[in-house]
Amino acid sequence: MRYLIIITTILLYFKTFSMERMFDELKISKKILKIVDTDRVYKKSVVKSEKKLQSLNYMIAGLHPNSCRKALKKLSRYEKFHEYLDLVKLSGYSEKTKEVYLYIDSALLPFPMALKFKLERIKKPGNYHFKFDKGFLKGLTGNIYISKRGNRCLFYSTTFWRGEKSKIPDTIFEVFTETVGELAMKALFKSTRQL
């Protein structure tokens, strides 16, 4: 019986280790890693409309110049995002409900947006899920994957949304999400580089 417990523990350890490796190998392709290793942001947005519905598949990846410990020290302070990003006019975070609130407005946006979504405060590498419960992209779900890459911190996020067709044409929606996402990631990385 004792050996059965030991063998089970070892198998669970290797299964966990292999799942982490699968994340690295499957979720982030070599092509994406090659792009982010040259300090560029990888982004891809696919928007499709069918009758009265519209969908968005979006991913973005970037390599922060600092270690995850240093990068997350500032990036986990969601309530200060209005200090880091020009397009964020108001930002807040509730420790109790784990909700992020962002009011964003910019000439790049088709209209001002209030975003409220659940996301725990990210303090270490891992996989973090979020969901928009209200607003323009209600029902949007996503994941933020954070992992060490050498002495730097890799951020990779995927999102999916399907809902009532917006007034934004698919191609413009794609360009808009890619452009705003890249600008936001670069600005966040730049403003949190110095500690």
Assign 37 a pLDDT band (cuts: 50, 70, 90). Answer: very high
Which domains does the chain show, CATH number per domain? 39-191 (3.30.530.20)
The residues that bridge with 99 in the sheet, in sequence order, are: 94, 118
Residue 131 CA to residue 121 CA, distance in Å, equals 14
Assign 104 a pLDDT band (cuts: 50, 70, 90). Answer: confident
End-to-end CA distance of the chain: 52
SS3 143: strand
Cβ density class 52-79: b for 16+ within 10 Å, e for less: eebebebbbbbbbebebebbbebbbebb
- Tokens representing 65 are 């110049």
Residue 57 CA to residue 99 CA, distance in Å, equals 23
pLDDT tens digit sequence for 48-89: 999 899 999 999 999 999 999 999 998 999 999 999 888 899
